[in-house]
Amino acid sequence: MGRTFHGLSFQPKYITVRLLKREWKTCGEMWAVLFLIVVLPVAMAQNLPGGNENPSASALFNKSEFSLDDPASLWVIVNKMRRLPAGYVPADLVVPHVRLQLSPKAERMHVRQVAAGPLQDLFAAAHQAGFNLELLSGYRSEAYQKKIYDKYVKKLKARAAIASAQPGYSEHQTGLAVDLDRNRDLRCLAMPCFAAMPEAKWLAEHAHEFGFIIRYEKDKESVTGYEYEPWHLRYVGKELATELFLNHQTMEEFFGIASMPKNAVAAIP
């Protein structure tokens, strides 16, 4: 009885030890394979040029590559504190080959040459994704911006300050900003409801791939001084657009530039 008892008691333990040994051996082999196919290539890649690159390499980003002040610079910052030179008109305005809301003769259907190709690519990619966009407004002269601003003041009174730029302070005057909409659908034209449209979601996710940013972001009103404008895109080039997208920063935050007088938005009723 005793032997049987001991046999029953110890045999399973013996088996367990053998199993453990076998599993350990298998485990060891598994780790060796894992090391060869996963760990080693990653470790080697990190030693190769570019292998250790962080997609958001802010520390390596050359923030002085382009001027922030020159009105013709890709990175020019125009905001409530930073006015364009009086009467500034970009020298290379063209009509992009995209769906236009107005006749190609209209001033607003122009953009800077440098932004035209990327805008066409963005429209083509949106079309591939099932969305047909339309250009509502590209370049706006200072005189036209004055008309718009005066209209906003009449309609919105003090709130005009966060809905429209004053003449000379509009990004549209650079020829690098565009307002877009769903083609032939005016229901959410430059309205907050545009944010809920799949077109707006696609733009928010993909605009940077073409060098554009959503300039007046959600939850950045206190930084930009403007309401969320999911339809307003600004061309800054792929490199900066991607950097801003990954860091979820405005141009002002990224470059450490003031955008508006303190508490200006809080003062608006």
Residues that bind Zn ion (CB under 5 A): 179, 232
**Shortest CB 214 distance to Zn ion, Å:** 11
Least gap, CB of 172 to Zn ion (angstroms): 6
Report the distance separating Cα 179 and Cα 191, nearest Å.
11
Q: How far is the CB of 208 from Zn ion (least distance, A)?
A: 17
Q: Let me know: does 80 contact 267? Beta carbons within 8 Å.
A: no
For residue 147, the tally of other CB atoms under 10 A from its CB is: 12
Question: Which residue number, 246 or 265, has a Cβ lying nearer to Zn ion?
Answer: 265
Q: Identify which of residues 208 and 232 has a Cβ nearer to Zn ion in the complex.
A: 232
Distance from C-alpha of 255 to C-alpha of 236, rounded to nearest angstrom:
13
Q: What are phi and psi of 183, to 5 degrees?
A: -60, 130
DSSP class of 157: G
Q: How far is the CB of 114 from Zn ion (least distance, A)?
A: 18
Nearer to Zn ion, 25 or 151 (CB): 151
Decide whether 108 or 208 has the Cβ nearer to Zn ion: 108
Quote the least distance from Cβ 117 to Zn ion, whole Å: 20
Instruction: Identify which of 239, 234, 42, 266 has the alpha carbon closest to the alpha carbon of residue 119.
Output: 234
Work out whether the CA dihedral 13, 16, 22, 25 comes out positive or negative: negative
Radius of gyration over every alpha carbon of the chain, rounded to an integer in angstroms: 29
* Selection from 123, 125, 129 nearest residue 98 by Cα: 123
| Angstrom distance (rounded) from CA 41 to CA 139 | 49
The nearer residue to Zn ion, 173 or 242, going by C-beta atoms, is 173
| Helix (H) / strand (E) containing 40 | helix 40-47
* Nearest distance, CB of residue 74 and Zn ion, angstroms: 18
Residue with the closest Cβ to Zn ion? 232
Q: Which is nearer to Zn ion, 110 or 232 (CB)?
A: 232
